[in-house]
Chains A and B, each alone.
Chain A
Amino acid sequence: MSAKLSKNPKNKVRVSLEDRIISIASYFIYSLFAFVCLYPFYYIFINSLSANDLSERGKVLFWIKGLHFKNYVDVMKVPGLFNALKISVARTLVGTAFTVITAAFLGFMFTQETLWKRKLWYRFVVATMYFNAGIIPWYITMRNLNLTNNFWGYIFPTVVAPFYIVLCKTYVESVPKELQQAAEIDGAGTMRIFLQIMLPVIQPILATVAIFSAVNQWNSFQDTLLLVTDNKLYTLQFVLYQYITQASSLKALVNSSSTSTSLAASLATAQTATSIRMTVTIVVVTPIILVYPFFQRFFIKGIMIGAVKG
C-alpha cells in the first residue's frame, strides 16, 4: 500500500528495507527462542533412549545413538516410582474432580440472588485470594487436622479454589437469565436447575478449570515437601526431586536387581545416574506434553477471562 502511494522512490526502498530487517531479525530471534524452549525436552528424550554409556559421557546431543528401550523397563524397578505414579494419578483425578464440581456449584450459587447474604459469602471466599497465613501456620493446621501423611491432605485444601469460582461465576452470569426463569416456572428447584440446566451449559469453562487444576495437581511439590514423610504417599514430582539429588545410589540398586548377564550388552544398558534421571524426567513430563497441545485453547481462554475479572 505504502509503496503505491509514496511519491519518492527512495523513500519506498528505505521503508521496505527497514521492515525487512525487522522481519528477518524477528524470525531469527523467535526461532532461537523456540529452540531454547524445545531443545531441552528433546535432549532429555533422545538421551533416555540412547546407549547409557554414551549418555553418561554427554555424547548424545542431536540424535539417538544406540537405540534401546531398556531404561523404560528398568525405571519401573526403581523403588517407589510405580507407587509415586499411582499417587500422582490418583491425586490428579480426585483433586480435579472435587475442585471442578465445587467451582461449578459455588460459581452457580453465587449468582443466585435468593441466597441468604450472598454478597457476604462471596467476599468471604474471594478474599482468601489476597492473603495467606504462611506455610508454618498452614502446616500446623494441617497437622492438627491429622492431614499430614494423609492422602486427603493433597485434596481438601484445594477443594474450594476462589479463582476458579470467579471464572465459573463470570461464565454463569453470561448465560441468559430466561433459561433459569423458565425452569423455575416449571417448578424446578435450585439443585435441579444446577444439575440439569446449568451444568450442561457451562461445560466450556469447566473444561478450562479442569485442565488448570489437573496441571496444578500433577505439578504440586510443596505440599508433599511440607506434609508427607511417609514414602508411600510421595508423588512423582517429589520422587523425581529425590532422584536428581541422589541418583548415583539408585543406579547400584537397579543394576543389582537387573537380570542382564552379558557384559558387552550391559555397558550400553546398565543404568547410570544420568539414564535414570533422564528417564524419570520423561515419565513425569510426558502427561503434560500429551495433554498440552489439545488444551492450549482452554488455557488461553482461562487467562483471558481471568484477565478481565482479575
Chain B
Amino acid sequence: MKLIVAIIQPHKLDAVKTALEGVDVHLMTVTEVLGQGRQKGFTEVYRGAKEAGGLLKKIRLDIAVNDNFVEPTITAITKGAHTGEVGDGKIFVLDLAECIRISTGERGSTAIG
C-alpha cells in the first residue's frame, strides 16, 4: 500500500480527477494549500508596501492505493496536471503502514479501494 501525495495547480483539479477516474481511482482527499516551488510567488503591494514572493494557492491530493495502482495513478495525475511550465507541481509516494475503513473495521488492501 502506498500513499500518493500530489501538489498541483488549482485549475488542473478537474482534469486530474477525470484522468484518475479513467484508471478507476475514485477515492481521494482534496485540500487547498499554499506553497512555492521554482515558480516563486507573486509580488503583492498594499498601499505601497511590497511583499515579494507571497505563497501561491495550490491543491493537495491525498490518495491511498494498493501497489498495483501506483503507476496508473502517477500517470493519470501527470497527464491531468501537466502543462510543461514551472509550477505544475510534484507527486510524492510514501509507504503506507496500515489502512482501516471506519464503517466496517476492514483493514489493509481491502479497506483501500
Task: Please determine whether chains A and B interact with each other in the same assembly.
Answer: no
- Show the binding face of A for B, using Cβ within 8 Å: none
